[in-house]
Chain A
Amino acid sequence: DAMVIQNPRYQVTQFGKPVTLSCSQTLNHNVMYWYQQKSSQAPKLLFHYYDKDFNNEADTPDNFQSRRPNTSFCFLDIRSPGLGDAAMYLCATSSSGGHEQFFGPGTRLTVL
């Protein structure tokens, strides 16, 4: 089945220790998104790629970076995690044209 896969599902890191989250998709969608979701809150868009074009949200901290080496894969790098970065990180994909987004299962990040 076509899907969005995120690894790892759970990530524990220490304050200030860099971490990388990964996302892959078999849907062949050209748009990929990274969201941060905290408890009982709406998903917050961090950035998205339209093909290779990177689009950063104005309020996304510089601490968050992303890479998309090819259509199928996208990475979220958190350079120096703080306690406030503990959250669920969601990857999503969509086809161009603003259609519905399909989400992965998420990565739960804990910062000690």
Chain B
Amino acid sequence: EDQVTQSPEALRLQEGESSSLNCSYTVSGLRGLFWYRQDPGKGPEFLFTLYSAGEEKEKERLKATLTKKESFLHITAPKPEDSATYLCAARASGGYQKVTFGTGTKLQVIP
């Protein structure tokens, strides 16, 4: 069974304190690893797609990386507006159009 596990469940950072969120996945033949940001009471907002080990994507203070077993979302010098829940999801080969979501990391950045 495909599984996606995110850690930590919650993370509290001081503004400017860089850190990383982890997404470990066990899927049959990864066909895409996706990162989303979700603000309270809203739908997830797409951030990145990674397809192969070694791939990296960047957007402002966020950088996503991928290995054969996990993905990291690095947050450099975070600001309070980066506070949100970050979800990752993985699509397996043969999974047709479906993905498996993790339960997310709730990030709080304190001024």
Contact = CB atoms under 8 A, between A and B. Distances in A.
Interface in B87-111: 87, 91, 95-99, 101-104, 106
Interface in A86-103: 88, 90, 92, 94, 96, 98-103
Interface in A66-112: 88, 90, 92, 94, 96, 98-106, 108
Question: Which range holds the interface residue count of chain A?
Answer: 20 to 34
Given A50-B96, A94-B97, A98-B31, A103 B104 contact: no
Interface string A21-42: 0000000000101000000111
B46 A41 contact: no
A55 B96 CA distance: 10
Interface residues of B, number: 24
B42 interface: yes
Interface SS, A side: strand
Interface of B: 4, 31-32, 34, 36, 41-46, 49, 87, 91, 95-99, 101-104, 106
12 contacts: A40-B104, A42-B87, A42-B104, A45-B98, A48-B98, A96-B97, A98-B96, A98-B97, A101-B34, A101-B99, A103-B46, A105-B42
